[in-house]
Amino acid sequence: MSKQKFKTEVSKLLDIVINSLYSEKYIFLRELISNASDACDKLRYYALTNPGIAKDNGEFKIVITPNAEENTLTISDNGIGMNKDDLINHLGTIAKSGTADFVRNAKDNGSVVDLIGKFGVGFYSAFMVAEKVEVTTKRAGETQAYKWVSNGVSGFEITEAEREKFGTDIKLYLKEDAKDYTDTIYLRHIIRTYSDHINYPIVLDLGKAGEENVNTGSALWTKNKAEITDDQYNEFYHHISRNFDTPWMRLHFKAEGSIEYTGLLYIPSEAPYDLFQPDRQQSLKLYVNRVFISDKVDDLMPAYLRFVKGIIDSADLPLNISREMLQQNALIAKIKNGTVGRILKELKKRSEDYDDYMKFWKTFGIAFKEGIYEDVNNREEVASLSRFYSTRDNDRLTSLDEYISHVQEGQTNIYYITGDDVPTLRNNPQLEAFKAKDIEVLLLVDPIDEFWVQVLNNYKGYPIKHVSQADIDLKINRDSTKADEKSLKKLTDFMAEMFKDEVSKVEPTEKLTNSPVSLTVENGQMSIHLERLMRNHQQQTTFASSRILEINPYHPLIIKLAESVNDKEQKQTVEEVCRLLLDQAKIAEGEAINDSSFFSEKLSDYILRGWQKSA
């Protein structure tokens, strides 16, 4: 006998699963049936490369056996089964890749049921209705069976057992308040409601009355769309995704031509917790003639559509194809290209309803925009479906096509600026002249924005340029006084020498209207925001950009500095104000300043002086 304790964090997680996670207890049956279906899928595929291994195991089916006298419920399958290591790894360790995070998330989440399906905890839902669970199982190809027993609290025991055929029996010793789950009428209702789509017979063992096949057992994607209800579509989504949300979009299609395949795809309404984890795999299941092949075919869907759930079934792939061959198969590439095209086409239709499309965009937009950078074949199409904040509207996001429809006379470029957040960018001094001339600027705040603008440098004939690279006339008709040219030159030389270790040059600009200064980079160099991103991710910044401090020759403060720069009695004040201005420009760009104490002290000092003079 092997007795083992659950880890502390696993015990906490079990408590959450049992007492908080699921809103309805009957969901445990759907979870266990889904696991049994997966086990049959695995053995069915395993038998393709190991002929005869399931020869004497009977037709695949899932048997539900209620026993009112014992107050037990058993879910049995003749799938691939488990050995001792499997029991320890799969039943003794819960959500092993992120248990601690799961516990924290479950405690912090206001609607914990939304977390279902994201951590592989479905089996443990059995403890909502069972005071003890026994798992008797035998793995295909092995001779020894094992029994796993747990009360869901103290730990689990594993002992050797007897089982004639491959597969798994999960016996639930029901709690006193869970006797309804031995009622065959109630069980029949649950199975037909939540598991009717399972592609194997779900048999209800009625004892002396025999067995009853409860579900229709038809692969949903093979049916005519007109015959499928919304509820059936949604329940199939819940089955394959293990999520509880209602999908935002579904796409059911059959492709014919050089290669035939059927697809039933969904875009969820909620983002998975691991959407941006580097090791996250796509979520499509590949079938060949309704035989499950793999859910780990990386080339079936591009990374930027990794949130898409569903199945692809093709009759043109060999049944015994290996995972390695799948990754290099030309037919897989054709399926991928065709499927992506259909998804983008459907998204274009849905994008016509702005409010509806925003539900998708605010959930998956950051990931979707990766396609502008990654998908060479569909780059412009992905860009056309992307949405961006801009200076034109504070709330409504715009598309590149809408941007083009707003361009000013003589404007030949699409302009953008990057930063950490939209409110800060809206107040960036570099936008002042653009606003004054009513030239729209895209406000890009997602990390991927820094990269896609490097590869999509032109959209429908309009070059895409950072505001610092603007070659449009940004001069504004002004009635205000301008600093004397000679004095201004002395000031820029003075500031360039003073800040020689921080900026490459100081020069006047026509881009500023209200602000005295702004910070930018040399044309063609890495933006300040991108350089900061690289530093934050501990990337080398060998090619650090050269900073340019731009000054507004029309601003009263710059005029006053230009007049005072050669006044020896004013030298300290000039130096202090220049330092404050550079710090101000850095703050506007989200950069750290050299001496925050100096900035705070002097800023307070000058505010107080101004206040006293005005009093």
Write the secondary structure of 550-612 as one string of H (helix), E (strand) and C (coil). EECCCCHHHHHHHHHCCCHHHHHHHHHHHHHHHHHHHHHCCCCCCCHHHHHHHHHHHHHHHHH
Two tokens, residue 421: 């957040």
| Class of domain 388-477 as given by CATH | alpha beta
Residues 74 and 167: their CA atoms lie apart, in Å, by 13
Q: Is 264 helix (H, G, I), strand (E, B) or coil?
A: strand
Q: Which contiguous run of DSSP H or E holds residue 149?
A: strand 145-150
What CATH number labels 221-355? 3.30.230.80
Find all residues with CB under 8 Å of 183, minimum gap 6, and list them. 66, 68
Two tokens, residue 270: 């909620």
Residues 187 and 337: their CA atoms lie apart, in Å, by 43
Residues 585 and 582: their CA atoms lie apart, in Å, by 5
CA 423 from chain centre, in angstroms, equals: 23
Cβ atoms < 10 Å from Cβ of 235: 17
Q: Residues 247, 237: contact at Cβ < 8 Å? A: yes
Q: Residues 512, 555: contact at Cβ < 8 Å? A: yes
Q: In the chain, what are the domain boundaries? A: 2-217, 221-355, 388-477, 485-614
Tell me the mean pLDDT per 10 residues along the chain, length 615: 64 64 77 89 87 88 96 96 89 53 50 40 84 96 94 87 95 95 94 83 92 86 92 90 91 92 96 79 79 78 94 79 62 92 98 97 96 96 97 92 92 92 90 90 93 94 89 72 91 94 91 89 76 67 73 92 91 92 90 88 85 74
What CATH number labels 485-614? 1.20.120.790
**pLDDT at residue 462, as a whole number:** 95
**pLDDT at residue 530, as a whole number:** 77
Hey, which residues does 204 pair with through a beta bridge? 64, 212
**pLDDT at residue 116, as a whole number:** 36
Among 423, 377, 382, CA closest to 400: 382
The CATH fold assigned to 2-217 is Heat Shock Protein 90 (3.30.565)
Find all residues with CB under 8 Å of 217, minimum gap 6, and list them. 198, 199, 200, 201, 202
**pLDDT at residue 194, as a whole number:** 78
**pLDDT at residue 55, as a whole number:** 85
Hey, which residues does 311 pair with through a beta bridge? 264, 285
